[in-house]
Amino acid sequence: MPPASSWPNWAPPSFICFSRPTRLPDMSADRPDSDSSAPDARPPSQERQWLQPTAEMDAPTDLGRTSALQAAQSPAITRSILVVSALFLVVLGVALAFVPWRQTVSGSGEVTAYAPEARPRTVESRISARVADWHVVEGDEVAKGDTVAVLEDLGSSYLDDQFADRVAAQRTNTLNGLRLEVERARQKLAQARQKRRSADEKVSNATLGVSTARTRLARIEDLQDDGISSVRDLETARLKFRKARTDSVAAAADLAAARRAVESARLNVERKEQKLEAKQAALSRKVGNARERASNAIVRAPISGTVSSINRVGPGQIVKKGTTLATVAPKTDDRAAELFVSSIGASLIEPGRQVQLQFSGFPALQFSGLPDASTGTFTGTVRFIDPVGDGSGRFRMLVVPDTSATTSWPSPKYLRQGAPAKGSVLLSSVSLGYEIWRRMNGLPPQLSTQQGTAPAK
């Protein structure tokens, strides 16, 4: 440590005051390397004078304190800027609280077609078969009924190309035999009915014979009482009456047998006819199935359009029934947006509501609450909303182009089916302050169908 004589001329600040003079101890004696004969050494009297409080120290001023306070205070211009900024923010907040805001319900989905026949159709294999040949490639234009692919049926019965014709010939022969049996049964029924008519006539004749024999017997009995007729004539009349009654009973029995024969023949005819009809239906189905299987081996386009995709199945590979072989996209201007919204939003949407749409690939700047400030969006109208959800709490709705809008939807050449889409269904107009208050409290948008303005909260 250097000697005290080498300390610089230091003066304490004016705000430091000493109550009494203080003398520092002489530390030079404790340091062996101190040299009292050094040229810069000062006498003790000067050291005491240096440590004596001066008049300025005895009478301190507020200059240092004032300088410190001024240094800590902000400049006047800074305070003015802060006051103006605070007033501006307050005025801006109050003004924004009354700015009109449009409540919306957001949804997302994709572009599709409103008419079912205008949507892409898949071409599926109706049978389990082996792919024999492809007749189209991706991008080909096809008409309804054009051949897309040819299959080979895997069923052993259908490997024969003439199987359907042979089944049809078998059907014809079987039905001809059954028709012959029906005709024979009908002939037997006609014969039974003829026998029944003969039995009816015999019963009538027998009844008449009984009546005649009874009348003759009564007359002979009267003559016998008068003594005119002989006993032999009376016995003969009685025998004839008994015979007439016997013949009548036999005729009635024959008539009953004839009627039973007719009923049996009729039932036989009905059985034959029912058998013919059942066999005819079964054979017709068999022939139809054979021909359908043969026709299903040729896969045809269900609609006119463009082949958009083909299954990666080459010739010789086996496909199962129901396997998608290709997809055909129709050429149509019918377009719609299929959007999915939440259950809360679905309760606020009704057909006819306007929707702001944003399509993928078309730059847009969308403000859900300020539809007039949005750019690059397209206008649509809610056409339909499902009454039943999809099982995950979402509801599907279809949005069609708004014919009254100034901007039409993009051309189908650029806006294709399947493109992602987002939409905001426009609801009631409210103030921004009310909208902020509603969202802070977790309340749903207004249910009112009128586009009125709600009071600000």
Q: What is the pLDDT of residues 360-418, one digit of tens each?
A: 989 887 777 777 777 888 999 999 999 998 888 899 999 999 988 888 899 888 898 99
Output the pLDDT for position 378. 92
As a residue count, the chain comes to 457
Cα–Cα distance measured from residue 363 to residue 202, given in angstroms and rounded to the nearest whole number: 105
DSSP lists the bridge partners of residue 58 as none
The first and second tokens of residue 410, run together, are 């993009």
Cα–Cα distance measured from residue 136 to residue 410, given in angstroms and rounded to the nearest whole number: 30
Contacts of 164 (CB under 8 A, 6+ apart): 287, 290, 291, 293, 294
SS (H, E, C) 238-251: HHHHHHHHHHHHHH
Output the pLDDT for position 69. 54
- Percent of the chain clearing pLDDT 70 (strictly above): 77
Output the pLDDT for position 157. 55
Output the pLDDT for position 372. 72
Contacts of 202 (CB under 8 A, 6+ apart): 251, 254, 255
The first and second tokens of residue 340, run together, are 């999915």
Question: What's 120-146+301-329's CATH class?
Answer: mainly beta
> Which CATH architecture describes the domain 163-292?
Orthogonal Bundle (1.10)
The first and second tokens of residue 162, run together, are 């003439």
* Three-class SS state of 413: coil
DSSP lists the bridge partners of residue 424 as 106, 356
Tens digit of pLDDT per residue, the chain (457 long)? Answer: 445 444 445 455 444 444 444 444 444 444 444 444 444 445 544 444 444 445 444 444 555 555 555 555 567 787 778 877 888 787 777 766 667 778 888 899 999 999 988 899 999 988 888 888 888 988 899 999 899 998 887 764 555 556 666 777 777 878 787 888 888 888 888 888 888 888 888 888 888 877 888 887 787 777 777 767 677 777 787 888 888 888 788 878 888 888 888 888 888 888 888 888 888 888 777 777 777 777 788 889 999 999 988 887 777 788 888 889 999 999 888 999 999 999 888 888 889 999 999 999 898 877 777 777 778 889 999 999 999 988 888 999 999 999 888 888 998 888 989 999 999 998 877 777 777 777 788 777 766 544 443 433 3
CATH 3.40.50.2000 for domain 100-114+332-440, yes or no, is no
Cα 235 to Cα 123, 242, 335, 419: the distances in Å are 99, 11, 110, 116
Q: Quick one: residue 6, left, alpha or beta (phi over 0 = left, psi -120 to 50 = alpha)?
A: alpha
Cα–Cα distance measured from residue 186 to residue 77, given in angstroms and rounded to the nearest whole number: 124
* Three-class SS state of 301: coil
Residues of the chain with CATH 2.40.30.170: 100-114+332-440
The first and second tokens of residue 234, run together, are 């009376």
Contacts of 37 (CB under 8 A, 6+ apart): none
SS3 content of the chain, % helix, strand, coil (to 5): 45, 20, 35
Strand 298-300's sheet: what is its strand order? 298-300, 147-153, 129-134, 318-319
* Three-class SS state of 369: coil
Output the pLDDT for position 251. 79
Tokens 């907040």: give the residue. 93
Q: Own/partner pairs for 262-268, CB < 8 Å, 24+ apart?
A: 262/189, 262/192, 262/193, 262/195, 262/196, 264/192, 265/185, 265/188, 265/189, 265/191, 265/192, 265/193, 266/189, 268/185, 268/188, 268/189
Q: Are 314 and 370 in contact (CB under 8 A)?
A: no
Cα–Cα distance measured from residue 90 to residue 169, given in angstroms and rounded to the nearest whole number: 96
Residues of the chain with CATH 2.40.50.100: 120-146+301-329
Q: Are 378 and 407 in contact (CB under 8 A)?
A: yes
Output the pLDDT for position 167. 73
Residues of the chain with CATH 1.10.287.620: 163-292
* Three-class SS state of 297: coil
Output the pLDDT for position 282. 81
